[in-house]
Amino acid sequence: MTEQIKEREALGGAEVGRARRRKEDARLITGRTQWTDNIQLPGMLHVAFLRSPMAHARITRVDASGALARPGVVAAFSGADLAGEQGSLPCAWPVTEDIVIPDHPPMAVDEVRYVGEAVACVVAIDRYAAADALEAVEIDYEPLDPVLDMTEALKEGSPKVHEAGNKSFTWKFAEGDIDAAFRDAPVVIDRTYVQQRLIPSAMEPRAVVAQTDGDQFTLHSSTQIPHILRVMLALTTGIPEHKLRVIAPDVGGGFGSKLQVTAEEVLCLLLTRRMGKPVKWTESRSEGNLTVHHGRDQLQHIRLAAESDGRVRAVQVDLLADMGAYLMLVTPGIPLLGAFMYSGIYKMDAYDFTCTGVFTTKMPTDAYRGAGRPEATYAIERVMDELAAEIGVDPMEVRRRNWIEHSEFPYTTICNLTYDSGNYEAATERALALFGYDKLRAEQADRRERRDPVQLGIGISTYTEMCGLAPSRVLGSLSYGAGGWEHADVRMLPTGKVEVVTGTSPHGQGHETAWSQIVADSLGVPYEDVAVLHGDTATSHKGMDTYGSRSLAVGGIAVVRACDKVKEKARHVAAHLLEASPDDVEFSEGRFQVRGTGASRTIQEIALATFAAHDLPDGFEPRLDASATFDPDSFSFPHGTHLCAVEVDTETGATAIRSYVAVDDVGAVVNPLIVEGQVHGGIAQGIAQALFEEAVYDVDGNLLTTTMADYLLPSAADLPSFVTDRTETPATTNPLGVKGVGEAGTIASTPAVVNAIVDALRPYGVHDVRMPCTPERVWRTLRSREEESA
Amino acid sequence: MIPASFDYLRPSTLDEALTMLAEAGEDAKVLAGGHSLLPLLRLRLAYPAALVDVGRVAELRGVADRGDHVYIGATTTHDEVVHSPIVKEHCPLVALATATVADPAVRHRGTFGGSLAHADPAGDLPSVAVALDMEFVVHSPTGRRTVPASGFFLDYLESALEPGEILAGVRVPKLGPGWGFHYEKFHRTAQAWATVGVAVAVRRSNGTVEEARVGLTNMGPIPVRASGVEEAVRGAEAGESLREAAGRADEGTDPPADLHAQPDYRRHLARVLTHRALLSAAAHPTG
């Protein structure tokens, strides 16, 4: 990798492809920046929320008056106090006509439906006073039965989360003749996998600062979606959209958890409106574990029909998706983002998908890194390994027999997605070589032979995913409430410097660096001369924000197109000043030159000339700037081959990752360092699902994993050194050839790790270990097999 | 961290600390490295009226060779213990176990005495303390007393320290030549507490185990000695008989149930890990 980076740098000049260190990192790493919690405003008050200790209960009495007597307390409110103005938190993705979308008050009024739901708040002069006074708020609850298990929840007679019942929707998709495919199929694999509930753990907790100045409101929030948030908050609170400014200052991670319109954002706006003073709320880590929207939590029933040689006929998926207690911004749409990915990279004749969204008395789920695609990839990659085991063929060979060959692109899958490009052969070949596949298989055979208590397992994940969310017309066809376009403004200042305004909203991805590289190359200006502005609806008027690996593949293209417009304008001005025909003016490395003569002007000179406006072509408006909005025609499809070797200690059940190789194809690369960072972090997060993370509720619906001592996140010490490499098969659907890399590692790595663990334990009769594959779970799985065979 | 409010007191001598603690009353807590206490404050599981920060009391810090034992001052950080030549030479088991405490950041602030006084059976040091028969030197306004490790840990998070008392330091007896040591820690992530830990000291001579000391981490409300194992290995060949002896590791234990392990799994782990620890310790006699 390092060699590759050096090689590219040696090419000189070209910014795109250069492994630049990120220009935003100095301020992000030192924290000397506008994290929301760093914001101090005159007269600012602090909010603390009292949260329900009950999973399900009727609220029979709230008395917040005791809190008012506490030192430093300015006000205290119950849900009933705010009921007239708080509205309902929005769900923008009604996936079916008959979907049940329950009313979702930001603060509970009559009933609580999960532990952690806000039931009252205290506003005080500082955070400590607010937190201290919470204990003086009196609330009486009348307990109701919790609803915790999806299968039980759908049974007749189950206690109800909402009056309308526990089913939110059933969504179906089918292509091909599924019955014919399964009829007389020589091989049928039938498995059920559990996608455990996860808690997104961004480094920066959520934080909100709301302020008002008469009828004008400003909300600072640690959010991924300032633009969408502004629209939704205007609709929810009744504050007119033009009177509401939303700012996402520097944001320290999100992983989808900040793709949300939260109760706290709405309530802080209401409080500042009531009190006329700025208010701040910052969550604690434990408060976050309870109330940041959770991820995954699906029960996947997958059936696969195949020929006896392992060629796949069809896949059938029946999914239960835990919505939690309410539908939040895109809750019901998350499983649908996976619906089209269960065929993975494989060819088949039929596909059938059903998803039922189920209400439970738990924190609502919503987007979490990969959102639907990790679940789909996990199920298909796990079941391909099961197929290989069933027919006694190497799992890589089974994949080869089924995958779309390089020569077959573009290829329209059974899920009706057209994969524009890909080269699974190349990525796989490279990965196998780096991994030493054959040698590890030989060692595995030897350990099996010796009955080594430490067994070796090899896991494969030949994944693909869909990025670049999204073509607006596709989102429309899936009933999503908004489009998927992205916007950019590029303006050259009189001194020749460049400001880029992007509608994407970075929260750690390095947009300022990558966008600067793109603009520097396009306009022929120094990288240092480019500033990227983002995240403030007062400066960035249009945007669809950052999620779904869309920023570069959609937002980056908008930047390219805006630059193209700037250059075209500049070429006309240059031609005018050089007294030449625009057709005779060429642009290269920042300079416009009349073909065949030495006469030229730099783009900076043109910028100044358009500012002075003394001598412009007729009808030309002063200033050199342009806007572009890009709406993609299609998704992009990164892919790759991840290989994982694990050592499983059969005495203790402990898994140690011995080696991990990732060869990803994310198309063309703007900054290899950023791509590396995304791949490393992504793999770590996927491994975390495989081995460590799980949100656990007890039988009463209490969340047990409220601290990092209980909700385990791996650190560098728990992870191997990843070997990463890339193949580059450019996307054909955008001018940069980029595909997106934000989620690839997370999507790919979870099945690679679990496949490896199961592979290690196959001689013991094991064909699945439920995630996370904790030592205890592995040990119990082995023990139950021993008991069965005894 | 948004704890309930408390008074903060920072003495510079042990006498001053004892006086402050006495004056602050029963609701006062001693603060050293803070790595056990602060999480409790953060979660509002503890509401001390006052914290007496002994971090700048020089006489509580440092390691000294006292002839038949090594004295480790209570506020000596884990990192200082790990890197102390005296500890390495005379009580390597302490160094081995301390090196596994949490992560480098914690080891640079967390203290040896603080960790023991917290009396968390999932901590790595209490089991070492009982295995090595350490002695706890405890000061109060009225004087000084010594508490053996076997009497120091009373219950989960409960030590023999009375209100007003401060743990000044710990005496670690030198075991002398011929001993091998090992601390076998099983945990889910590098920073996690031990699911189970086993501290072992073994004295070997001519291929036979003469004597063993085995302390168990997180196998009950207090750290315990695996006396069944100690009995079984005495005079055993350092071979397959160690596995048999280790099979008694969970005798008389009362392991907890939590998210990381149920009691039956902890019992199983105790047996497996004790065997591994005995093998390692018996293979590497030092001193």
Instruction: Answer yes or no: are the C-beta atoms of A320 and A198 closer than 8 Å.
Output: no
**Which residues of chain B does A692 touch, with a Cβ-Cβ cutoff of 8 Å?**
188-189
Provide the pLDDT for residue B285: 59
Q: How confident is the model at residue B237 (pLDDT cuts 50, 70, 90)?
A: confident
Domain check: are A396 and A279 in the same one?
A: no
Give the gap in angstroms from C-alpha B35 to the nearest C-alpha of chain A: 13
Domain check: are A619 and A680 in the same one?
A: no
Mean pLDDT for chain A? 96
Mean pLDDT for chain B? 95
CATH number at residue A271: 3.90.1170.50
Query: Residue A88 is encoded by which pair of tokens?
Result: 């309902």
pLDDT, one tens digit per residue, over B178-221 is: 999 999 999 999 999 999 999 999 998 887 899 999 999 999 99
- Torsion, Cα of B69, B70, B72, B73 (10° steps): 70
3-state secondary structure of B144: strand
Place of tokens 């190349």: A426
Q: Among A578, A602, A630, identify where a domain stops.
A: A630
Q: How many helices (H) and strands (E) does chain B have?
A: 12, 15
From A127, A776, A779, residue closest to B2, measured CB to CB? A127
Note whether residue A326 is domain-resident: no
Return the DSSP state at B74: T
Q: Among A238, A266, A291, identify where a domain stops.
A: A291
Provide the pLDDT for residue A582: 95
Q: State the Cα–Cα distance between residues A630 and A557, nearest whole angstrom.
A: 7
From B2, B5, B262, residue closest to A776, measured CB to CB? B262
Domain check: are A22 and A76 in the same one?
A: no
Q: Among A587, A607, A630, identify where a domain stops.
A: A630
Provide the pLDDT for residue B286: 56
Domain check: are A460 and A544 in the same one?
A: no
Do B192 and A712 make contact, defined as CB atoms within 8 angstroms? yes
Domain check: are A18 and A53 in the same one?
A: no
Return the DSSP state at A132: H
pLDDT, one tens digit per residue, over B276-287 is: 999 999 987 554
CATH number at residue A574: 3.30.365.10
Domain check: are A446 and A558 in the same one?
A: no
Identify the segments of chain A with pLDDT beneath 70. 1-13
Domain check: are A538 and A662 in the same one?
A: no
B-chain residue closest to A705, CA distance = B259
From B2, B103, B189, residue closest to A128, measured CB to CB? B2
CATH code of the region B58-173:
3.30.465.10
Give the gap in angstroms from C-alpha B227 to the nearest C-alpha of chain A: 23
**Which residues of chain A does B272 touch, with a Cβ-Cβ cutoff of 8 Å?**
651-652
Domain check: are A531 and A671 in the same one?
A: no
A276 burial class (0-12, 13-18, 19+ CB within 10 angstroms)? exposed
Note whether residue A695 is domain-resident: yes
CATH code of the region B179-286:
3.30.390.50
Do B5 and A132 make contact, defined as CB atoms within 8 angstroms? yes
Domain check: are A452 and A415 in the same one?
A: yes
Do A713 and B189 make contact, defined as CB atoms within 8 angstroms? yes
Note whether residue A312 is domain-resident: no
A15 burial class (0-12, 13-18, 19+ CB within 10 angstroms)? buried
Is residue B257 less than 8 Å (CB to CB) from chain A? no
Instruction: Answer yes or no: are the C-beta atoms of B247 and B238 closer than 8 Å.
Output: no
Domain count within chain A: 3
Do A707 and B43 make contact, defined as CB atoms within 8 angstroms? yes
Note whether residue A673 is domain-resident: yes
Provide the pLDDT for residue A49: 98
pLDDT, one tens digit per residue, over A287-307 is: 999 999 999 999 999 999 999
CATH 3.30.43.10 fits B7-56, yes or no: yes
3-state secondary structure of A525: coil
Does B238 have pLDDT greater than 90? no
Domain check: are A102 and A236 in the same one?
A: yes
Note whether residue A315 is domain-resident: no
Do B188 and A712 make contact, defined as CB atoms within 8 angstroms? yes
Domain spans, chain B: 7-56, 58-173, 179-286
Q: Testing the interface with B: which of A712, A771, A773 to mutate, by most B Cβ within 10 A?
A: A712
Domain check: are A531 and A552 in the same one?
A: yes
Chain A with chain B: Cβ pairs closer than 8 A: 53
Task: Return the closest-CA partner of residue A73 out of A16, A17, A137.
Answer: A137
Is residue B243 less than 8 Å (CB to CB) from chain A? no
Parallel, antiparallel or unpaired: strands B179-186 and B196-205: antiparallel
From B5, B195, B272, residue closest to A128, measured CB to CB? B5
Give the gap in angstroms from C-alpha A271 to the nearest C-alpha of chain B: 22
**Which residues of chain A does B38 touch, with a Cβ-Cβ cutoff of 8 Å?**
none
Q: Which long-range contacts (CB under 8 A, 24 or more apart) does B155-162 make?
A: B155/B119, B155/B221, B155/B222, B156/B119, B156/B120, B156/B121, B156/B221, B156/B222, B157/B118, B157/B119, B157/B120, B158/B119, B159/B116, B159/B117, B159/B118, B159/B119, B160/B136, B161/B117
Provide the pLDDT for residue B187: 97
Query: Residue A339 is encoded by which pair of tokens?
Result: 């619906």
Give the gap in angstroms from C-alpha B86 to the nearest C-alpha of chain A: 28
B-chain residue closest to A653, CA distance = B269
Note whether residue A188 is domain-resident: no
Note whether residue A683 is domain-resident: yes
State which residues form the domain around A432: 375-467+637-789
Query: Residue A599 is encoded by which pair of tokens?
Result: 């006469």
Domain check: are A699 and A766 in the same one?
A: yes
Q: Testing the interface with B: which of A132, A286, A652 to mutate, by most B Cβ within 10 A?
A: A652
Residue B55: how many other CB atoms lie within 10 Å? 16
Is residue B206 less than 8 Å (CB to CB) from chain A? no
Angle, helix A395-402 to helix A373-391, in steps of 10 degrees:
110
Q: State the Cα–Cα distance between residues A324 and A48, nearest whole angstrom.
A: 24
Instruction: Answer yes or no: are the C-beta atoms of A551 and A506 closer than 8 Å.
Output: yes
Is residue A780 less than 8 Å (CB to CB) from chain B? yes
Q: State the Cα–Cα distance between residues A522 and A567, nearest whole angstrom.
A: 8
Note whether residue A172 is domain-resident: no
Provide the pLDDT for residue B236: 86
